[in-house]
Every structure is written in C-alpha cells, then in structure tokens.
Amino acid sequence: MAGAGIENARQEAEILLAFSIGVGYKDLLVQLDQPVSAGAARKYAQLVEKRREKHPLQYLTGIQEFMSLAFEVNEAVLVPRWDTESLVELVLDKMKHFAAPAVVDVGTGSGAIVVSLAKYYPQGEYYAVDISQDALEVARRNALRHDVAGKITFLQGNLLEPFLGGGDYDIVVSNPPYIPQKELPYLPADVQKEPRLALDGGEDGLSCYRLLVPQAQRVLKPGGFIFLEIGDHQGEDVSALCRSYGFSNVTISQDYGHRDRVVSGHLKR
C-alpha cells in the first residue's frame, strides 16, 4: 500500500489484517505468530486492493472512532473527523447552562455529533435531520449502538426545513458541507469517495450557511445558540452572516490543530 501513496501504509495494513481475521487491532499484535486461515488471507488481499484504489479505510472496516465512541460508517456518510470533536466539546460546554436543552443537529450524517451529545449529556432532548435517508439509517443504528435512540428524534429534510413550523429549540449545531465546488476535484482521492452531498458547499463553499443561518434564527428560542463547523478560511464570512441574522457574541474558535473551525453565536432576546 505504501507504493500506492498511502501514508500510514503499515498501520493500515495491520488494521485490515486484524479485521480480516476478526480480531481487535491490539489482539493482533499479541498473536503475530499464529497462522492466518486461507479465508482470512483472501479477504485481506481483497481489502488491501480496495485500499490501494483509495477506498477510505473506514469504509472497509465499517468503523470510525469519534469522541471515544465507535461509529458505524459506510459510503452513505462522511467519515467523522477529529476536528469535529472541538465542535462537540463547545456544544457540551454550553449545554451545562441549560437543564434540558432542545438541540438540533443539522446534516447529521453518521450521527456522530448528536449521538456523542446524547451520550455525554443525557439530560438533553435531541433532534437530528438529514436529507439522505441512507445516512439517517446509519445514524439510527449508531444511536442504538450507544443506547441513546430513545433520546433522539430523526427527521428527513433539507437543513432546518422540518422545524420551520415551531421556534422552540435552544441549540442548533451543524457540520454542513463547506468545500467550494472548484476545490472538489483536488481533494485527496479517498476523500473524493465520500458522499459529494456531504462535501459540496456550492460555488464558494458557503451555500449551506446562507440557508441555514436564517432558518436557525426562526427555529431557535430567543437566547438560543448556534454552533457551526467551518472551513478554516470561512470564519469571517460565516460570522458576518450570523451577525446579520441577529446573532450576537459571534465567536470563531479553533480546532486542536489551531485552525479556525467553529463559529458560534447567541440569538438576541
């Protein structure tokens, strides 16, 4: 796989081998002297070939860890990113100021955000929306896997459309698609195998925010909060958008790699 330009080729090969044998990664390391069955060897060869073709490792194993929880993933959803943990941490921090906040996760994908929030703040009332029915099925399974299905209402729809009838929510959180269209062809080959719907932010990358921010203004209670993941050069534009729709204390926060990653704001009372 190193020859195919896979950066962590050795570790990824080990992960695929463990997966083929049906053991955990750490267990593999203590049984390196054990023979590998013909079936497992065949499976391993197929997976390595797929990885050489740049299928994301997580689609091959079906798992990605996020917020120390194991999430099922497949081709219908974006693989949860470590960067997004900083978004979740900011929301968790804010939720402490509410007794039982009503929270909407827009474009939930695998459900990584809403399931983590429900797991670490069980007192909340959660809603998750996605335009993709296939993604919602993955999100539902992840909620079941982590015993929080009873706390989350899943809805199909475009951004906040299903919620526009009522304005009773405390927090809107989203990691929407934000890659400018012209950059899509230059993304790494494995990222290009993720759903275009989850990446494509329109001509300048800001299309979703332009729809979502005014919707959030209608859906949030006065005094509610918005938390948006952004691309690292979008902080100023998304902040300006939030201010123009009545949000105050608009703040740009950084991820663990010190890049701008989240814009948050408080809806004036």
HSE of 239, CA atoms in CB hemisphere, 13 A: 14
CB-nearer residue toward ligand GLN: 124 or 176: 176
> Does 108 participate in binding ligand GLN (rule CB under 6 A)?
yes
Considering only 47, 73, 112, 172, the residue that binds ligand GLN (CB under 6 A) is 112
**Binding positions:** 107-111, 130, 175-178
Q: Are strands 125-130 and 102-106 parallel, antiparallel or unpaired?
A: parallel
Check if the beta carbon of residue 129 is closer than 8 Å to that of residue 160: yes
* Residue 234 in the binding site for ligand GLN (CB under 6 A): no
Question: What DSSP line would sit under 83-127, residue for residue?
Answer: THHHHHHHHHHHHTTSSS-EEEEES-TTSHHHHHHHHH-TTSEEE
Radius of gyration of the chain from its Cα atoms, rounded to whole angstroms: 20
Give the binding-site size for ligand GLN (rule: CB under 6 A): 13
**Closer by beta carbon to ligand GLN, 47 or else 111:** 111
Which stretch of DSSP H or E encloses residue 171?
strand 169-174
Q: Whose Cβ is closer to ligand GLN: residue 17's or residue 67's?
A: 67
In the complex with ligand GLN, the residue whose CB is nearer, 43 or 176, is 176
Nearer to ligand GLN by Cβ, of 48 and 263: the residue is 263
Query: Is 15 within 8 Å of 57 (Cβ atoms)?
Result: yes
Question: Could you tell me the CA-to-CA distances from 144 to 54, 140, 141, 234 in Å, in that order?
Answer: 30, 6, 5, 35
Binding mask 149-178 for ligand GLN (x = CB under 6 A): --------------------------xxx-
Cβ partners under 8 Å of residue 245, min gap 6: 213, 214, 216, 217
56 is a site residue for ligand GLN (CB under 6 A): no
* 188 to 207: interface string for ligand GLN, x by CB under 6 A: ----------x---------
CB neighbourhood size of 193 (10 A): 16
Question: Binding site for substrate: what residues are annotated?
Answer: 175-178
One residue of 20, 58, 84, 264 binding ligand GLN per CB under 6 A: 84
78 contacts ligand GLN (rule: CB under 6 A): yes
Binding site for ligand GLN (CB under 6 A): 78, 80, 84, 107-110, 112-113, 175-177, 198
